[in-house]
Structure 1
Amino acid sequence: MKIAITAHGTDCQATVDTRFGRADYFVIYDQEKAAWETIANTQNLEAAHGAGIQAGQSLARTGAGVLITGHVGPKAFKVVNAANITIYSLGTESGTVQAALEAFLAGKLSPITAPKP
């Protein structure tokens, strides 16, 4: 399974980004390969509108099954849900991507079951 985490940087030591649509990067951990990859979200950083929808579409193309982030708006939530990606909340945490992954694997993160307006 691929686990995507919103981040301010490009590796597992980057600080997590609690924004979804306007996150700088998606750092993705592939459990089967035990490998990391990074997807830039630059096209959405300055988008006037639709950043969450576009970010959701980009994320769906990666094959991720899990998203770890802080906030997902209603339209982005619909896109991510339609791609069968389960969303987990970082809450207000601002640690590293690695720490977020470890918290998820330990069952310490709560699923996001509804979007935040």
Structure 2
Amino acid sequence: MKIAFTAKGTDWDATIDARFGRTDFIVLYDEASGTLTSVDNRDIEGVAHGAGPQTAQKLFDLSPDVLITGNGPGGNAAEVLQRANLKIYVGAANMTVKQAYEAYKKGSLSLLE
């Protein structure tokens, strides 16, 4: 399973970014291989409108099964992501990527319906 995180950095110690569309990085953990990679999303800062859909496109390119974030994507981006059968978990703000992963595994995060 591939799990994506919105993050302010690129490793397990990075803080989860509460924002989806304007997150600094997307960190991807592949449970099957045990690899952790990241995609720089800071170029989105200069975008006046449509940050959510552009970040969603980057996410699609990574093909995760799960997204873990702080507050979750906005309405349009959330709807598109959910139609793509991506499970979105919220409530990880102020956690590190590692803490958010552990909270997800324990069932402590909220599934966005």
- Per the TM superposition, whether the score is higher than 0.5 is yes
- In the other structure, the counterpart of 2:46 is 46
Deviation at 1:100, TM superposition (A): 0.3
TM-score (norm 1): 0.90
Correspondence 1:7-22 to 2 at 5 A: 7-22=7-22
Instruction: Render the CA deviation track for 1:40-60: whole Å, top value 9, x for unaligned.
Output: 112322210000001011101
Corresponding position of 1:2: 2
CA distance in 2 between partners of 1:25 and 1:83 (Å): 21
TM-score (norm 2): 0.93
Deviation at 1:66, TM superposition (A): 0.3
In structure 1, runs of 5+ residues without a counterpart are none
Which is worse superposed, 67-76 or 15-24?
Answer: 67-76
- d(CA) in 1 for partners of 2:15 and 2:24? 11
Deviation at 1:79, TM superposition (A): 2.2
Alpha-carbon deviations, 1:23-46, whole Å to 9, x = none?
000111101101101011123222
Contact kept? 1:25, 1:39, Cα under 8 Å: yes
- Distance across 2 between alignment mates of 1:73 and 1:10: 23
Gaps of 5+ in 2: none
Deviation of 1:106 after TM superposition, in Å, equals 1.1
| Alignment map for 1:38-117 (pairs within 5 Å) | 38-71=38-71, 72-90=73-91, 93-113=93-113
Aligned-residue offset at 1:82:
2.7
Cα pair 1:89 1:112 within 8 Å, conserved: yes
Residue 57 of structure 1 contacts residue 79 of structure 1 at CA under 8 Å; is this kept in 2? no
> How well do the aligned residues superpose, as a CA RMSD in angstroms?
1.1
- Separation in 1 of the partners of 2:110 and 2:62? 23
**1:57 touches 1:80 (CA, 8 Å); kept in 2?**
no
1:16 shift after superposition: 0.8
